[in-house]
Amino acid sequence: MILTPSELEAIRKQAVDEYPAESCGLVFVRGTERLVLPCRNDQDAKHKEDPQRYPRDSRTAYYIHADDLKRIAQLELQGYSMAVIYHSHIDVGAYFSPTDKKQALMSGYLDPVYVVTSVVSGQAEATKAFRWSADHNEFVETER
């Protein structure tokens, strides 16, 4: 099981609530405990601060807010591990884009499953999950 029904519902609701910006967050596990951590997308602030370095806005990218990054570090110190990294795509499909792949590879986080929800005209459509496959040297779609 990658996501429980309530986690899936929360992730899809966040994606709709934050439309037309991309949503983002993580699901952590520690033993049998599971924790959904919705994060704030700071991409617009980064874009405004330095459009050369951050040419995209929150409709096409996400950047996890610094306070949320601190919370992630705290959870990891408490023994939680990342099970899922999620975000939404705005007015396009639920796919693992070349940018998603590049960022995942650069981050070094290959163990978590990546979940992408498509939000079109303010409505959550497809939600798909992608897992790193060493055999394929690629992220491949997997069951949610």
- Is pLDDT of 1 > 80? no
Kindly report the pTM of this predicted structure. Answer: 0.96
Q: Count how many domains the chain has.
A: 1
Average pLDDT over residues 27-46: 98
- Is pLDDT of 144 > 90? no
pLDDT at 32: 96
Give me the percent of the chain exceeding a pLDDT of 90.
Answer: 98
Residues 65-112: tens digit of each pLDDT:
999 999 999 999 999 999 999 999 999 999 999 999 999 999 999 999
- Is pLDDT of 131 > 80? yes
Question: Which range of residues forms the domain containing residue 45?
Answer: 5-142
pLDDT at 46: 97
Neighbours of 24 (CB within 10 A): 27
- Is pLDDT of 133 > 80? yes
CATH of the domain at 78: 3.40.140.10
Mean pLDDT of the chain: 97
- Is pLDDT of 33 > 90? yes
